[in-house]
């Protein structure tokens, strides 16, 4: 069983290793926040590359140390490229991170997220509503309810706890639920983290770029620690940025600067740990 002290040590080591080794974490991600994803990945020490074609997705999975798939803004070619990337990651044992954005607004999105089931993402990151909806889609038994959802969470993080645990047990990876408090679980441990800023809801892509950052960390550590690293970094960077921001744009700038400077302090993050 993990202890708080062990987690603090592991996130510290992983953050350092990411900065030292510049791991390539390729992505298929949405067009709205792709620049933020790349810049956040670079800020924490990783290397970023984005593709959309099936053969390029397969190549990039093989070239990189991990991969990030965000189904935020689909184009027709995603029907081939997303499964290609998922399959290649599964076949080559590359850890990959899934961001199941806005499940329910179209048929392709549902198909892609259904396909993800057999490819076992190392980390699933989403808001509470997305995590509940994904557990439902994958027919994993849990306590929450779900419906058609947009990009914003209508459920609380607490309400997604059982769904998150069910998903983590199924994938044998980790699940990170983002919200006012954040929840991270590997199916055995449940960690609750605090920090961040209300301004993060006023900047598009905080969730997406967190997924990309977790993918960078997944290249250098286990899924649960990777999810902790990313979440802690976002909480620390957000809290610090909100103290100097005049609004959402200056917040975003300070936030990315902080990702660059604060990732050697991940062991100072506020969290609590329980077992299930």
Do the annotations mark residue 1 as ligand-binding?
A: no
Residue 202 interacts with its own copies (CB under 8 A): yes or no:
yes
Interface residue with its own copies, options 25, 69, 74, 218 (CB under 8 A)? 74
Interface residue with its own copies, options 33, 197, 209, 231 (CB under 8 A)? 33
Q: Which stretch binds its own copies (CB under 8 A): 9-17, 73-81, 186-194, 218-226?
A: 73-81
Separation in Å, CA 264 to CA 8, 83, 100 = 11, 35, 29
Binding mask 92-131 for its own copies (x = CB under 8 A): ----------x--xxxxx----------------------
Residue 47 interacts with its own copies (CB under 8 A): yes or no:
yes
Q: Of 110 and 170, which has the nearer Cβ to its own copies?
A: 110
Contacts of residue 194, defined as CB under 8 A and 6 or more positions apart, other chains included, come to 181, 182, 235, 270, 271
Contacts of residue 129, defined as CB under 8 A and 6 or more positions apart, other chains included, come to 146, 149, 152, 153, 154, 155, 160
Shortest CB 202 distance to its own copies, Å: 5
State the Cα–Cα distance between residues 32 and 149, nearest whole angstrom. Answer: 18
Q: Tell me how long the chain is.
A: 276
Residue 264 interacts with its own copies (CB under 8 A): yes or no:
no
Reading the block at residue 239, the tokens are 């809290």
Interface residue with its own copies, options 35, 180, 188, 270 (CB under 8 A)? 35
Contact 100, 59 (CB under 8 A): no
Residue 137 interacts with its own copies (CB under 8 A): yes or no:
no
State the Cα–Cα distance between residues 161 and 38, nearest whole angstrom. Answer: 29
Residue 233 interacts with its own copies (CB under 8 A): yes or no:
no
Residue 203 interacts with its own copies (CB under 8 A): yes or no:
yes
Say how many residues touch its own copies, by CB under 8 A.
Answer: 62
Q: Of 73 and 156, which has the nearer Cβ to its own copies?
A: 73
Query: 161-200 b/e with 16+ CB inside 10 Å = b?
Result: bbbbbbbbbbbebbbbbbbebbbbbbbebbbbbebbbebb
Residue with tokens 């919200």: 179
DSSP class of 203: S
Q: Which residues are near its own copies by CB under 8 A?
A: 24, 30-36, 38-39, 42-43, 47-53, 55-56, 59-60, 63-64, 72-77, 102, 105-109, 148, 150-152, 201-205, 245-250, 252-261
């Amino acid at each position: 069983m993990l202890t708080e002290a062990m987690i603090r040590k592991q996130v510290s080591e992983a953050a350092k290793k990411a900065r030292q080794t510049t791991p390539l974490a390729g992505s298929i991600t949405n067009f709205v926040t792709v620049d933020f994803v790349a810049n956040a990945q670079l800020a924490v020490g990783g290397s970023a590359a984005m593709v959309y074609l099936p053969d390029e997705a397969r190549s990039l999975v093989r070239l990189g140390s991990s991969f990030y798939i965000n189904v935020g803004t689909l184009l027709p070619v995603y029907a081939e490229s997303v499964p290609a990337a998922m399959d290649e990651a599964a076949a080559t044992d590359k850890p990959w991170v899934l961001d199941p954005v806005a499940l329910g607004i179209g048929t392709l999105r549902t198909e892609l997220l259904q396909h993800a089931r057999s490819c076992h993402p190392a980390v699933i990151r989403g808001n509470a509503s997305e995590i509940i909806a994904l557990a439902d889609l994958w027919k994993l038994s849990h306590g929450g309810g779900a419906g058609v959802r947009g990009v914003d969470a209508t459920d609380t993080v607490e309400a997604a706890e059982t769904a998150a645990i069910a998903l983590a047990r199924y994938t044998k990876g980790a699940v990170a639920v983002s919200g006012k408090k954040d929840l991270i679980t590997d199916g055995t441990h449940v960690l609750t983290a605090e920090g961040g800023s209300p301004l993060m809801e006023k900047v598009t892509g905080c969730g997406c770029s967190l997924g990309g950052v977790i993918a960078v960390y997944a290249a250098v550590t286990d899924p649960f620690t990777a999810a902790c690293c990313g979440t802690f970094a976002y909480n620390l960077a957000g809290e610090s940025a909100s103290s100097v921001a005049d609004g959402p744009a200056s917040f975003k700038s300070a936030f990315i600067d902080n990702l660059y400077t604060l990732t050697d302090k991940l062991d100072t993050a506020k969290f609590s740990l329980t077992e299930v």
